[in-house]
Amino acid sequence: MEKIKHSWSPDGRKKYDRIPVAEYPSKVVLGIQEDYCNLACPMCMVHGTNKEPSFNIKDVATSVMPMENIIKIMDEVKGSSMISPGYFVEPLVITNIKDVLRAAKERGVPITMVTNGLLISKTMAEFLVDHVSVISVSIDATTKETLVKTRTTSRLQRIQEAVFLLLEKRGSNQSPRITVNFTIQDANRHERDDFLQFWIQHVDAVRINEMYTYERGADNLVVTRDRTPCREIYDQMNIDFNGNVLMCCVDGFRQTNLGNVFRDGVYNVWHGEGFSAVRKNHEEGNYDAQQLLPIVRALGQLHYF
């Protein structure tokens, strides 16, 4: 999002000029099959061991996004949007993930995927390299002892091998872009520098960010600049399994609904009343107008190397 001009309201709030909205979001997240993940990472508010005790995703995600609706979304956004399969789950547990990726490739719709790497075999690596534009592997550790604390698995070697399998299958090609992720938390903070120094030699980028918790906060968050309108509400649409559009990429509890694309289509929801109201509130500095908005500042603490 380009730098935007601002002014001040009488009550001291910083107000921003109207921010242009593209015809379609640059990224569409599809919550195709959200009721199961192959890990229970403590940081995950939906499937993790440290999630909200009263929340059970199986009570919420009661069906799978129909393939005909997935194709309809792809047909509408092709030429404008990148698609990311999986909202709060490992995308490779999605039963028909290969069908989804094939359909995207047939339509020229680029796919970006964040994975824990555990389900990437040689054949899967070949398939992903042929069908995905960006692959990000979340690791969060340099030792298996730490990985147990951050991801509830000790299979660090398997995950590392998955990254190198992807690199091997890509060969000298420029695509897909292959990156790794490290989410900082108390259990792995001491390994941050070693992680960066090791992986930056091998992959296209290393992403390091703070942990977001189910209490709706980010560990050790330090805000060093004035708050600005959230980039995501101008760039990204999060579509749940039933077509409902969630306002924020961290709305794992499904507390918001800006419209339904199965009923109204992507364009109409993207330019509809729900999104327009959220954007207007951000531009006017009314960040508390929607329930989730106070926590969006946690998303700004991302670092790329």
Side chain identity at 84, as an amino acid letter?
A: S
Confidence of residue 198 (pLDDT cuts 50, 70, 90): very high
> Where do we find the tokens 């968050």?
221
What are the CB-based long-range contacts (under 8 Å, 24+) for 252-261? Answer: 252/44, 252/45, 252/46, 252/57, 252/87, 252/88, 252/214, 253/45, 253/46, 253/52, 253/55, 254/60, 255/291, 255/292, 256/290, 256/291, 256/292, 261/73, 261/237
**pLDDT of amino acid 303:** 39
**pLDDT of amino acid 213:** 56
How far CA 29 is from CA of 202, 222, 232, in Å, comes to: 27, 28, 11
> Over pLDDT 90: what percentage of the chain?
72
**pLDDT of amino acid 53:** 84
Confidence of residue 296 (pLDDT cuts 50, 70, 90): very low
Output the pTM of the full model. Answer: 0.88
**pLDDT of amino acid 295:** 45
Q: Based on the number of CB atoms within 10 Å of its own CB, is 233 exposed (0-12), middle (13-18) or buried (19 or more)? A: buried
- 240 backbone dihedrals φ, ψ, rounded to 5°: -80, 175
What average pLDDT does the segment 44-70 reach? 90
What average pLDDT does the segment 252-272 reach? 96
- The Cα–Cα gap between 92 and 37 comes to 9
- The Cα–Cα gap between 104 and 39 comes to 26
Please check the confidence at residue 293 and state whether its pLDDT lies above 70: no
**pLDDT of amino acid 300:** 39
**pLDDT of amino acid 34:** 95
What average pLDDT does the segment 294-301 reach? 43
What pLDDT, in 10s, does the model give residues 87-139? 999 999 999 999 999 999 999 999 999 999 999 999 999 999 999 999 999 99
